[in-house]
Amino acid sequence: MLGKEPETLLTHAGNAPEKNQGIVNPPVYHASTVIFPSVAYMEEGAKQPYEGVRYGRYGTPTSRAFEDAVAALEGGYRAVVTSSGLNAITTALLAFVKSGDHLLLVDNCYYPTRQFAEKILSGLGVTTSYYPPEVGENIADYIRPNTRMIYLESPGSFSFEMQDVPAITRVAKERGILTMMDNTWATPLFFQPLAHGVDLSIQAATKYIVGHSDAMLGVITAKEEVFWPLKTIAAILGVCAGPDDVYLGLRGLRSLAARLAMHQQHALTVAEWLSRRSEVVRVIHPARPDHPGYHLWQRDYHGSTGLFAVILDKVFDKEAVTRMVESCRLFGLGYSWGGYESLIMPFFSPPPRDCTPWQQEGTLLRLHVGLEAVTDLLHDLEEGLKHLHG
């Protein structure tokens, strides 16, 4: 019997040494064909084709171990592992919206989610409109008679607005509208979407779950009512993930709590330090009391992670900011985040927005604060900031 606390679950879920000669970690199953003992067995299995071990694409003991561990952490019925975080998002959307339906997307969502709605769903007859992240219960004003799904992401992974998740899911539930949420920033350790009324929770496991910048992976956790429709469509779409990457996800879970505690602490320290620098006009971090969504973070979240942003003074032009980021040695310039290492990403043009135009002047710098010693990180930023001035 596993303990109830998430740290204990993280440490043991999916492991069964007694079934594997005492070896702590489960073996990695590489599989396509699964040999059946009889025709009767084969025919019996075909009644529930996506259950059990029948074909590599539908699931193996390796994928099931990872799915069950994440589902337990998210407090869901079951989960579906996918080949990337974006694949988790597109699979969950394709499973539940159809021609004639309307999708409500949060205006600050991860950009490829927006592209999927505009380039793929539009061609399938699904209309998309956007709502402000800070809408709360006024989401009702954006709902149309054919709204099928409300998509949440909190905080936004560029601008970090917090959403009032329970207020939105309450309205959705009253009207029979499904909700899904990209929960990558918080991970299931710091926020549990399903407990706040969301039907489908998405993790880009590429980020904190894998945690070492060496695999692409996604996972969708579902409530019982929506799991089988989701699993069926995922199977029909051919969604599956490579066994070695799934294993890296499972292994990443073991140290997730320890890594996040350090990311959290380091990011808060770096954010505080940056807030006292004259080059910085604003720090955008949901776990700081000056953040407009701080009360929501405090009410609903158990912690904060390593990703936040600052706005630089508008006197620093693209050339100055380029000098700055290129002179950082520890903060690398690169996509993604959630690995052990620190990253810095400048955004020189305003993000695409529909109903909440980006008003802030000055370059937004997004930082992912890693596991390096904070003193070294502060020193790196201090050297970098000098280069803003020429």
Ligand X SMILES: *Cc1c(COP(=O)(O)O)cnc(C)c1O
Q: How far apart are CA 106 and CA 174, in angstroms?
A: 19
Altogether, the residues listed in the chain come to a count of 390
Q: Smallest distance from the beta carbon of 109 to ligand X, in angstroms?
A: 8
Listing DSSP states for 268-331 in one string gives HHHHHHHHT-TTEEEEE-TTSTTSTTHHHHHHH-S---SEEEEEE-TTS-HHHHHHHHHH-SSS
Q: Is 182 a catalytic residue?
A: yes
Query: Applying CB under 6 A, which of residues 163, 184, 201, 356 lies at the interface with ligand X?
Result: 184
> Residues in contact with ligand X, total (CB under 6 A)?
13
Q: Is 47 a catalytic residue?
A: no
Residue 273 or 347: the one with the smaller Cβ distance to ligand X is 347
Helix (H, G, I), strand (E, B) or coil at 356: coil
Is position 129 an interface residue for ligand X (rule: CB under 6 A)?
A: no
| Cβ–Cβ < 8 Å for 15, 26 | yes
Helix (H, G, I), strand (E, B) or coil at 344: strand
Nearest-CA neighbor of 54 among 237, 235, 324? Answer: 235
Active-site position among 78, 114, 148, 207: 207
Binding mask 136-175 for ligand X (x = CB under 6 A): ---------------------x------------------
Return the structure tokens found at 226.
């929506």
Scanning residues 326 to 355, which ones bind ligand X (CB under 6 A)?
336
Query: Applying CB under 6 A, which of residues 58, 110, 130, 301 lies at the interface with ligand X?
Result: 110
CA 269 from centre of chain:
23
**101 CB-near residues (< 8 Å, 6+ apart):** 125, 126, 127, 146, 147, 148, 149
Q: Smallest distance from the beta carbon of 378 to ligand X, in angstroms?
A: 25
Return the structure tokens found at 29.
């199953």
Active-site position among 55, 57, 170, 277: 57
Residue 168 or 241: the one with the smaller Cβ distance to ligand X is 241
Binding mask 202-241 for ligand X (x = CB under 6 A): --x-xx--------x-x-----------------------
Q: How far apart are CA 350 and CA 364, in angstroms?
A: 9
Q: Which stretch binds ligand X (CB under 6 A): 80-88, 316-324, 349-357, 361-369?
A: 80-88
| Cβ–Cβ < 8 Å for 69, 9 | yes
Q: Smallest distance from the beta carbon of 238 to ligand X, in angstroms?
A: 17
Q: Smallest distance from the beta carbon of 74 to ligand X, in angstroms?
A: 15
Q: Smallest distance from the beta carbon of 187 to ligand X, in angstroms?
A: 11
Is position 84 an interface residue for ligand X (rule: CB under 6 A)?
A: yes
Helix (H, G, I), strand (E, B) or coil at 192: coil
Question: Amino acid identity of 258?
Answer: A
Residue 255 or 336: the one with the smaller Cβ distance to ligand X is 336
Is position 82 an interface residue for ligand X (rule: CB under 6 A)?
A: no
Q: Is 231 a catalytic residue?
A: no
| Cβ–Cβ < 8 Å for 324, 388 | yes
What is the binding site for ligand X (CB under 6 A)? 84-86, 110, 157, 182, 184, 204, 206-207, 216, 218, 336
